[in-house]
Amino acid sequence: PRLTRADLDSLPSYVPGRSPADLARELGMTEAIKLASNEVPYGPLPGVVEAVTAAAAGSHRYPDMGVVELREAFAERLGVDADRIATGCGSVALAEHLARVTCLPGDEILYSWRSFEAYPIIAATTGATSVRVANTAGHGHDLGAMSAAITDRTRMILVCNPNNPTGTAIGRAALDRFLDSVPDDILVVLDEAYREFITDPDVPDGLRTYGDRPNVVVLRTLSKAWGLAGIRIGYLVAQPSVAATVRKVVTPFSTSLVAQAAALAALKQADEVERRCALVVAERDRVTTAIRDLVPDVPASQANFVWLPLGAGSGEFAAACEKQGVIVRPFQGEGVRVTIGTPAENDAFLAAAATAL
């Protein structure tokens, strides 16, 4: 007999980046390079390992379910009240919670596509209907078409800025216009997972620019610039009633003891984060320039990865890079996303790409 929902059979799985240890074994190399999951390559921030180790001494007790100290730390850093903050097991969990608090079965979640691969999974598991609006020819959000796609059933809109996997970012005037066009009973989630890598002054900080709009939620993570991908901690800033509702539906204690300790330690390292992001950005610009000699239509990226719109050749390109020990992320038939690594890793990628193409 069928024990799980039939509609989930056709749901695509979230594809994690391949393990570099696994590839190295296959190739008989000592080490493979992973540029597939948008991590920052410089290791945990100073103090994080010590904080995690110290916290582990209390592992037999549940963590603070209210996440009080950490929410206060976020609040102070961001200049908002702590009652506007919710934390979760990665920002991807918070995106799912937001879908749960806004949508009943049959309601619609609207987003640009291609965008973050978790969005369709989140919509489907909630029982909501995904409404996807195709990216522009320049691989960015088509905000005019997204406005036009709003219906009576739209409950949540996901705007990924900068967009994963294309790296494109939305400027101030376009985002102003779009938000003005959205009815005030629809929640707009500005997914800013890559906020720290933005250098274009025209791309607005979602919180500073739109934080006072009651229907806007800003979603962020410590997985990327803050180096805590493996610890799993994301946060959102919303109006207090929305944040409180999210805190009610989170899986109890899902911001673990270790995650809270690691995040508190990481937040003390803002200067180091800024320094690392500057390195990543310089490399992003170097890789973009170099790769454009091979793939001329690579869009400008405001994130810590670049998008190679290789269409039907994407799978083959990624496989050729893998054979040379570099793991990148293909999106079959569309393109390849390449995370910015250390200068040496990026050189290895550029060499692999030159051979592959």
309 near ligand PMP (CB under 6 A): no
- Candidates 11-19, 131-139, 221-229, 313-321; binding stretch for ligand PMP (CB under 6 A): 221-229
191 near ligand PMP (CB under 6 A): yes
126 near ligand PMP (CB under 6 A): no
φ, ψ dihedrals at 288, nearest 5° = -60, -50
Interface mask (CB under 6 A) for ligand PMP, residues 161-180, using x and -?
Answer: ---x----------------
- Residue 32 makes CB contacts below 8 A (sequence gap 6+) with 20, 21, 23, 24, 325, 326, 327
Nearest distance, CB of residue 120 and ligand PMP, angstroms: 13
Nearest distance, CB of residue 107 and ligand PMP, angstroms: 21
Segment 26-45, which members bind ligand PMP (CB under 6 A)?
38
Inter-axis angle of helices 343-356 and 270-292, nearest 10: 20
Tell me the three state secondary structure of residue 331.
Answer: strand
- Residue 153 makes CB contacts below 8 A (sequence gap 6+) with 106, 107, 108, 129
Inter-axis angle of helices 91-102 and 118-126, nearest 10: 40
- DSSP type of residue 8: G
- Report the residue from 91, 102, 254, 269 that binds ligand PMP according to the rule CB under 6 A: 91
Interface mask (CB under 6 A) for ligand PMP, residues 256-295, using x and -?
Answer: ----------------------------------------
- Report the residue from 41, 227, 234, 325 that binds ligand PMP according to the rule CB under 6 A: 234
Nearest distance, CB of residue 233 and ligand PMP, angstroms: 7
- Report the residue from 33, 48, 92, 175 that binds ligand PMP according to the rule CB under 6 A: 92
116 or 178: whose CB is closer to ligand PMP?
116
E strands of the chain, at which residues?
Answer: 33-34, 85-88, 108-113, 129-134, 154-160, 187-191, 216-221, 234-237, 305-308, 326-327, 329-331, 335-339
- DSSP type of residue 255: S
In terms of DSSP bridges, do strands 234-237 and 85-88 run parallel, antiparallel, or are they unpaired?
antiparallel
302 near ligand PMP (CB under 6 A): no
Query: Looking up tokens 């691989």, which residue turns up?
Result: 139
- Report the residue from 45, 109, 133, 160 that binds ligand PMP according to the rule CB under 6 A: 160
Residues lying near ligand PMP in the complex (CB under 6 A): 38, 90-92, 116, 160, 164, 191, 193, 221, 223, 229, 234
